[in-house]
Amino acid sequence: MLADLAASLKAEGRFEEARVAFEKAIELAPEATDYYCGLATVLRELNERSAAATTLEQAIERDPAHSAARQMLAELYLDMGIYTGVIEQARAVLKTSPGNAPALAVLAIACQETGDITAAITSIEQLLRLTPNEANSHYVLGTLYHRRGDIDLALERFERVLELAPHTEVGGLAQGEIQNMDGGQIQQILLLAAENPAFRIELERDPMQAAWDYGFRISDGAIGVLANLDFEQIPERPRHWGPATYH
Q: Is pLDDT at 245 greater than 80 in this prediction?
A: no
What pTM value is reported for the model? 0.75
The structural domain count of the chain equals 1
Q: Can you give the pLDDT at residue 193?
A: 85
Taking only the tens place, the pLDDT of each residue in 5-61 is: 988 999 999 999 999 999 999 999 999 999 999 999 999 999 999 999 999 999 999
The answer as to whether 2 is a domain residue is yes
Mean of the pLDDT values across residues 192-201? 86
Reported confidence tier of residue 219, pLDDT bands at 50, 70, 90: confident
Mean pLDDT, the chain, integer: 90
What percent of the chain has a predicted confidence (pLDDT) above 90? 68
Does the structure show a pLDDT above 50 at 241?
no
Position 6 in a domain: yes
Say what the pLDDT of residue 235 is.
Answer: 57
31 lies in some domain: yes
Q: Residue 37 is part of a domain; what is its CATH number?
A: 1.25.40.10
The whole-angstrom separation of Cα 39 and Cα 236 is: 72
Residue 9: which domain range? Answer: 1-63
99 found inside a domain: no
